[in-house]
Amino acid sequence: MKWLVTLLVLSQSFWVYALDTVYVVKEQRPLYDRDVYLFELLEKALQAAKYNAPLEYVKVHPHQQRTLMMLAQGKVDVLWSMTSPERETLGIAVKVPLFRGYIGKRAILVNQDQLDRFANITTLDGLRPLVAVQGHDWPDTKILAHNDLTVRPQAKYEAMFSMLNSHQVDYFPRAFIEVSSELASFQRFPLAIVPNVYLHYPAAFYFFVNKDKPALAKAIENGLAIMEKNGEFKSLFDRYFAASIAALKLDNATVIELENPYFEVDANEG
C-alpha cells in the first residue's frame, strides 16, 4: 500500500507520548461487529505507536453530519466515517482504509418477497426503475444519485429497514462487512440478500481526527502502518469479518459497477 512505505520510515524513531485524554465518538445505537472492530483497531494502533493517552468514549446521537460537526468544533477528537471531499475539510483524514477494500462492495438487501423480482437484474439500467434507501447525510446517497439511481433519503437508521419491510422502497445497499450483523439485528423483518449480484464503487472508510491534534493523527497512521507490516491489521480484520463475508457467497456474483466522483481515483479503497 502506498501509505505504508513512507509511514514505516517515520515509525522507526518513535518516542513515548504522554498526552491528554482522547475523546472518541461512540454512537448511541446497537453496536455491530464493524463498530467493535474499529474500537479495537484504534486502541491497537495507538498502542503500536506508543501513544499513551487514555481513551474516553463520548456517546452521541447516530447522525453522521452532526457528529462530524462535533469533530470540527473540537468537541471530540476521533471518529470514523466513509470519506468525501466535504468530510475531509472537517478534520484530519487518516488515509488508511479501515475495511481493506470491502466498504464499497454493497450487497443488495431486499424484502424476501422481492427476490424473484431481482433475480434477473444484473445491470445499472435494470436498477434504475427501482427505489433505494440510504441515509440522508451519507456519501453513498450522492454516489447512487450520480449514477442516475433513485434514492429515498432517510434520517433514521432503523427506519430504513422498516421501509424495506413495508415496501416503501425496493432495496437497501449494505456493505459486505455490515450486512450480516444487520440481518441478525433485524430478524423481525423478512429481509434477504440478493444472491446473484452486488454493487461496487470506489470508497474508503477512514479515521478522522480533530484538526488541533495532528500528532494524534500521525500516531494513528503510524500505528496502522506497524500493524500492516506485522500482519496484525489483516488478522484483526479477518477475525471479525472473514467468516461473514465468506457466508455471503457472492464471490461469483455479477458486479454492477458505479462511479464515485467524490473519491480520489488513486486512493486505496476500503
Q: What is the pLDDT of residues 120-154, one digit of tens each?
A: 999 999 999 999 999 999 999 999 999 999 999 99
- Listed in sequence order, the residues at least 6 apart from 243 whose beta carbon sits closer than 8 Å to its beta carbon are none
Same domain, 178 and 90: no
The stretch 71-83 carries a mean pLDDT of 97
pLDDT value at residue 17: 43
Say whether pLDDT at 160 is over 70: yes
Say yes or no: 80 and 166 in one domain.
no
Whether 141 is in a domain gets the answer yes
Position 167 in a domain: yes
Same-domain pairing of 19 and 72: yes
Is a pLDDT exceeding 60 seen at residue 3?
no
pLDDT (mean) for 232-248: 98
Range 236-249 average pLDDT: 98
Is residue 162 domain-resident? yes
pTM for the structure as a whole: 0.90
Q: Look up the CATH number of the domain holding residue 62.
A: 3.40.190.10
Do 6 and 94 reside in the same domain of the chain?
A: yes
pLDDT surpassing 80 at residue 18: no
Q: What is the pLDDT of residue 63?
A: 79
Per-residue pLDDT reduced to its tens digit, 170-228: 999 999 999 999 999 999 999 999 999 999 999 999 999 999 999 999 999 999 999 99
Strands across the sheet with 78-82, in order?
55-60, 22-27, 78-82, 205-209, 92-94
Grid look-up 423480482 returns 117
| 71 and 82 in a common domain | yes
Q: Which amino acid is at 108?
A: I
Q: Please, are residues 72 and 81 in contact by the beta-carbon 8 Å criterion?
A: no
pLDDT of residue 27: 87
| pLDDT range class, residue 11, cuts 50, 70, 90 | very low
> Domain range for residue 63?
2-99+204-246
User: Are 197 and 208 in a shared domain?
Assistant: no
Burial label for 13, CB within 10 Å (0-12, 13-18, 19+), is exposed
Does a structural domain hold residue 262?
no
- Residues 117 and 85 both lie in one domain: no
Number of domains in the chain: 2
Q: Is position 267 within any domain? A: no
d(CA 242, CA 236): 10
Say if residue 198 is in the same domain as residue 216: no
Residue 269 resides in a domain: no
* Structural domain contains residue 268: no
Q: How many CB atoms lie within 10 A of CB 114?
A: 19
Residue 117 confidence (pLDDT) above 90: yes
Same domain, 153 and 211: no
Report pLDDT digits (tens) over 24-76: 999 888 789 999 999 999 999 999 999 999 999 999 887 788 999 999 999 99
Contact 173, 105 (CB under 8 A): no
